[in-house]
Amino acid sequence: NAGVTQTPKFQVLKTGQSMTLQCAQDMNHEYMSWYRQDPGMGLRLIHYSVGAGITDQGEVPNGYNVSRSTTEDFPLRLLSAAPSQTSVYFCASSYAGQGLTEAFFGQGTRLTVV
Amino acid sequence: SQQGEEDPQALSIQEGENATMNCSYKTSINNLQWYRQNSGRGLVHLILIRSNEREKHSGRLRVTLDTSKKSSSLLITASRAADTASYFCATAAIKGGGNKLTFGTGTQLKVEL
């Protein structure tokens, strides 16, 4: 079972560069989300999607774009990387609706912006 | 802003002892969930308790929820070295059907032999 797959695992970017973090799930989950994890701050929600073609902003959306063209994929785009975006990024998915909302997480992407 | 705040931030115990972690939150919730994160890895779901439940068990885990105090606790009994990890509570908002999770800052648990 692949579950939630994130690529790449590690990435170093220069300030101003753009890149896309990939996330794919094979569980037919409607709900997908992106979090960033910084030391001492837990996980903060960047963007989420309740289904193909529907996305919304989370707590810290600035500097990031998402799209959801298929149920399986939910890429996160950094438009112009900044050192403040150095973080570990996690993608998660879950069934939508009442009572079955445990989230499955990918292994993370460790991003460093220099 | 963080919805859940965990207490303590760090906990060190001996193998075989019980570990208790607490979580407080601010707004009304659909459910509350606990996750474990081993160093450098993704989060793994442990247990979910709905807002109309007061206590739930899963193996060596016991979770309580007090919605009047907006607090939850996670008890790990007979801890093992393999339980060493960070533990996070996450609250699911009522709006959105319970999927939108807000995480606390976590408790780092170290279980020593």
Mutate to test the interface with B, among A7, A25, A30, A102 (most CBs of B within 10 A): A102
pLDDT of B109 strictly over 80 = yes
Lowest-confidence range among B46-55, B64-73, B99-108?
B99-108
pLDDT tens-place string over residues B56-100: 999 999 999 999 999 999 999 999 999 999 999 999 887 765 678
Residue numbers in B near A59 (CB within 8 A): 1, 102
pLDDT of B33 strictly over 60 = yes
Mean pLDDT for chain B overall: 92
A-chain residue closest to B101, CA distance: A45
Higher pLDDT: B40 or A81? It is A81
Q: In this prediction, what percent of chain B has a pLDDT beyond 70?
A: 94
The CA-atom distances, in angstroms, between B23 and each of A41, A74, B26 are: 14, 30, 10
pLDDT of residue B36: 97
Phi, psi of A84 (to 5 degrees): -65, -10
Count contacts between A and B (CB, < 8 Å): 76
Q: In this prediction, what percent of chain B has a pLDDT beyond 90?
A: 78
Residue of B42, B105, B106 with shortest CB distance to A90 = B42
Residue of A50, A94, A105 with shortest CB distance to B43 = A105
Residue numbers in A near B31 (CB within 8 A): 99, 101
> Which amino acid is located at A23 in the chain?
C
The whole-angstrom distance between residue A8's C-alpha and the CA centroid of its chain comes to 12
* pLDDT lower than 70: segments of chain A: 1, 97-100
Sheet holding A4-7, edge to edge: A4-7, A19-25, A76-78, A64-66
pLDDT of residue B93: 80
Shortest Cα–Cα distance, A50 to chain B (Å):
9
Residue of A42, A94, A107 with shortest CB distance to B99 = A94
Residue numbers in A near B43 (CB within 8 A): 43, 90, 92, 103, 105
pLDDT of residue A16: 98
Residue numbers in B near A98 (CB within 8 A): 30, 97-98
- Find the largest Cα–Cα distance for chain B: 44
Quote the CA–CA distance of A45 and A56 in Å, as a whole number: 11
Where does the pLDDT of residue B1 fall: very low under 50, low under 70, confident under 90, or very high at 90 and above? very low
